Structure formats: structure tokens, C-alpha cells
Structure 1
Amino acid sequence: MTFGEKLFKLRKEKGFSQEALAEKLNTTRQAISKWENGQGYPETEKLLMIGNIFGVSMDYLLKDTSEQSNETEAGYYVSKEMAEGFLLSSKKMARYTSFGLFFIALAFIPYFIFNQDPTNYLIPTIIFGTIGVGCLASTSFLEEDQYKILKQEPLLFDEKYLQELNIRYENRKKKYAIFMIVGFASFAMGFFPIGLEKKNIISADFLTPYFPISIGLMAVGIYILTHTSTILDGYKLLAKNELYTNRLRFKLRKKVRQKVDEL
């Protein structure tokens, strides 16, 4: 079977019209028709997208064989548009996650400001806590389904774009290193008085008035660390995907999904 015959067969098996497949590939119906009639081949990016859509290897698509090879293309092709959309989504997730943890941390401040009197501290604590939990809960709705597969499969990129991603990732790491240091210092400064009180090094009576400031510093530290690390993780997932997919947690999740699919 030629490439055109395979494309026609795969399209029919999926129940796609030429217009529907053209829309998925961001091309025209005429282009699909030409490929199926043996009048040329799609460009490499489109070939990889076809492989992703139909779950077949490049080897199967390009060789004149009738059976699909057992050696499949080892990865899910990610276009530049999809990668950039994922990075924007990661920034949005970082914002909501960090704000959620920030407000949850702030929820402890009224307890000390209002001298541990529940009639005064309860309402502001509930307000801060509700805002924080709401921000965290909203992240489950913000995560778009189209990007979930990027965390489930090894990824393939255009080589030039992958080099660009690596450069951007390294630049982000250098830029965010300062923020990470500031965030860690803020958290440590806030935790230090609380640690002194817990170890009975300094009396609680002396330190308690400073606890709201300490908690505020810890909240700022948590916000900075969460925001920067979440964005960096998004870049790392793409630019250093081999490291990500070699982690034990990734391999275990993949095995579990395979077992579930088999059932």
C-alpha cells in the first residue's frame, strides 16, 4: 500500500471526512485529496500529526507495506503552537496555585491579630481560607484537556524549536534563581521566630505580637516559590522531556494507564 492508500484507509476507519481531517491538520481538503491520490506527500510536521491522530508510526506511513510495524514512533509530536499554548496555560496555573497557597497562609494571621478571640478572627480567617481554596480548586477547571497528554507521553519536537526551548528554559532558570532565593529567604525569615518559640528559646509572650509579620513573610515566600517553580516545571517538561519521562513516577503512571486500558 502506498502512503495515499494508507491515509485513505485510516481516514475511513476513523470516520473522518476529508474536510474534518484537513481541519485537524490545519490544511485544505484539496491537500488531503492530493495526498490520497498519490500526488505528493505532506511536510514532516503534518506527517507527525497524522501519526498522532491515527496512532501509527512514521515507518508505517512512509514505507510501502500493508501492515503496521511493531516499532512505533517513540513519542507524541508537539507543534510550536501547542507548546506555546501549554506554556501560557502553565503560567495561568502558576498564578492561581500560588495565590491559593498565599491566601491559605494569610488565613492564620487574624488568629494572632485579634488575640486568639474566635468572635473576631473567625470571619476573616474563613474569608482568606475560602479565597485560597477557591483558587486551588479552580486549577482543576483551568487545565485544558488537550495539554494533559503532554504529561503522559514522551514528546517529539521540531529540532530547531527544541533548541529554542532549551535556550528559553536556561534563561528562565537564571532569571528565576534570584526570585527563588528571595522566596526562600522570605519563608525562612518568617519561620525563624516561630521555630524559636517552638524550641522554647524565646518566650511566646515576647514573640506572639510578631507572628502576623512572620506569617506574612512565609506567605510571600510560598507565593514566590510556588509561582516560579510551577512555570519552570512547565518549561522543563518540554525542554528536558527525556529527564521527565525517565522519572520513576512517570513510568509508574504510564504502566498503570496501560493496565487500565487493557481492562
Structure 2
Amino acid sequence: MTFGEKLFKLRKERGLSQEALAEKLNTSRQAVSKWENGQGYPETEKLLMIGNIFDVSMDYLLKSPSETNNDKESGYYVSKETAEGYILSVRKSAKYLSLGLFFIALAFIPYFIFKQDPSIYLIPTIIFATIGIGAFSSTSFFEEEKYKVLKQEPLLFDEKHLQELNVRYENIKRKYNIYMILGFGLFVVGFLPIGLERKSIIPTSFLTPYYPVCIGLIAIGIYIYTYMFNVLDAYKLLAKNEIYINRFGFKFRKKFRKKFDDF
């Protein structure tokens, strides 16, 4: 990409008009338009200001397409601010998704505690289920429209930023994998006694009083695993984008969108 193309993508990504960017740079809209159309370059002071506004290096702004492999590829440029905003957005949506599944699982507990009297267990079951469905449904509100493109296109990064993302991903992967194993383990521990009872390996009368505890373990396991998986996947999308875009699901969605657009 040329400097003008990079400036245009950075400005659009931030949601700034040419007038708004010109005001931040203490220059005219016509000057910004000329830079984006390849009719000139800003002076050094303005270049530094552009780098600070969009959180990119001078190396990224000025290097020519022949000096970098990334610029030879087509893709969506992701600034540091966009990457951090996306991670924060995923954390919020993952929290509510996990809480939704957690409360939906808990909705089964009142039945096993008060199953002799439907009039008692029905109300808390409905309350838990309503909270769970509400939290689950609210995840769509936290998935901001501007971040959806990150799952639809190959991503380009400033080299230094990409290195930082890789280090963060490797550090968080070790930590989150442990939590995911813990969450999966709690799910198995909670589900196993129920499965053994269903297969008549263990007498029903022995396990029935412990069903609420088993379901509680399942709910906690689902919460931990779901939250950690979604956040880790977001980091992987950014730091290991070349792996992500080679997934079957990514290729299928991209092919489907192309056919839809052509239609």
C-alpha cells in the first residue's frame, strides 16, 4: 500500500472525516485529500502527529510496498487501538455468553431439590432460565459492528505490534489452557456421576441427593471453559491470523459472501 492508501484506511478505521483529521493535524481538508490521493506527503511534524493519532510507526507509514511482505498482501489493517478494542469487546461478550450458559444450567437444580412439589421448583427454574437466556441474548449487543470485519478479511499489522501480540498470545495461552482444562474437568466430574447412574452402574438412590452439586459443577465448568475459549480465540485471531484464515469455516464464509455479493 502507498502512504495515501494507508492514511485513508487508518482514517476510515477510526471513523474520522477528512475535516476531523485535518483539525487534529492543524491543517486543511484539502491537504489531507491530496495526501490520500498520492499528490504529496506531509511534513515530518505532521507525520509524527499522524503516527501518534493512529498509534502506528513511521516505518509503517513510509516504507514502500517493495520493502515489506505485508503490504504486498491484501487485507484489513489493524491498528493497536483497534486490536485492544476488539479484545475488550470479546471479553464483554464472552462474559455474558458464559453467564447465560451458567444460569441456564443452574435452572435444572430447583427440580432436583423440590421435584416433589412443582409449584415450588417451577418459579426458581423460570427465574434462572430467564436470566440465562437474557444474558445469552445480550451478547449480540457487545459485538460491535466495526469489529466484524476482523473475522471476514486477512489482517495486516505493524510489525512491532504483531510481535507484541504474539508474545501476549503465547503468555495468555499457557494460562488460559490451564483454566480451560479445569473447566472441562469440572464439567466431566459433574456429568460423570449422572452418566453412571443412567447406565445403572450406581444405584439411583445413592446419587440423587447429590444431583444439585453435580449440576453446579457442570455450570461452573461451562462458565470457565466458554469464557476462556472465546477470549483465547480472539487473541489467536489477531496473533495467528494466518492460521485462522486457513480454517475451513473462514474459507467457507468468505466463499459464501462472495457468491452472495455476486448474486
Is this a same-fold pair by TM over 0.5? yes
For residues 137-164 of structure 1, give each alpha carbon's deviation from its aligned partner in whole angstroms, at most 9, with x where no partner exists: 0011111000000010000000100000
Q: Which runs of 5+ in 1 are unaligned?
A: 11-18, 48-57, 64-70
Task: Please tell me the root mean square deviation across aligned C-alpha atoms, in Å.
Answer: 3.3
Q: Indicate yes or no: 2:18 matched with 1:21.
A: yes
- Whether the 8 Å contact between 1:94 and 1:226 is mirrored in structure 2 is yes
Residue 205 (1) aligns with residue 205 (2): yes
- Cα offset, 1:22, TM superposition: 4.7
Residue 236 of structure 2 corresponds to which residue in structure 1?
236
1:175-208 deviations in whole A, cap 9, x for unaligned?
1122122212211110111011111101212211
1:182-261 → structure 2 map (5 Å cutoff): 182-261=182-261
- SS of 1:178's partner is helix
1:180-237 Cα distance to aligned partner (Å, 9 max, x none): 2221221111011101111110121221111000000010100000111111011011
% of aligned pairs identical?
58
Matches within 5 A, 1:1-263: 20-23=17-20, 27-28=24-25, 30=27, 33-34=30-31, 36=34, 38-41=39-42, 73-263=73-263
Q: Which residue is equivalent to 1:15? A: none
The 1:225/1:156 distance shift into structure 2, 3 A limit, reads same
Deviations 1:52-80 (A, max 9, x none): xxxxxx9xx989xxxxxxx9841100111
Deviation at 1:34, TM superposition (A): 3.4
Alignment coverage as a number of residue pairs: 234
Which ranges of structure 2 fall in alignment gaps of 5 or more residues? 9-15, 52-60
- Taking structure 1 as reference, are residues 231 and 115 closer, same or farther at Cα in structure 2, changes over 3 Å only? same
Check 1:86–1:24 CA distance in 2 against 1; reply closer, same or farther (3 A cut).
Answer: farther
> Aligned-pair distance for 1:82?
0.6
Q: TM-score, normalised by structure 1?
A: 0.79
**One-letter code of the match for 2:166?**
N
Work out the CA distance in 1 between the residues paired with 2:22 and 2:211. Answer: 57
Give the residue type in structure 2 aligned to 1:241: N
TM-score normalised by structure 2 residue count: 0.79
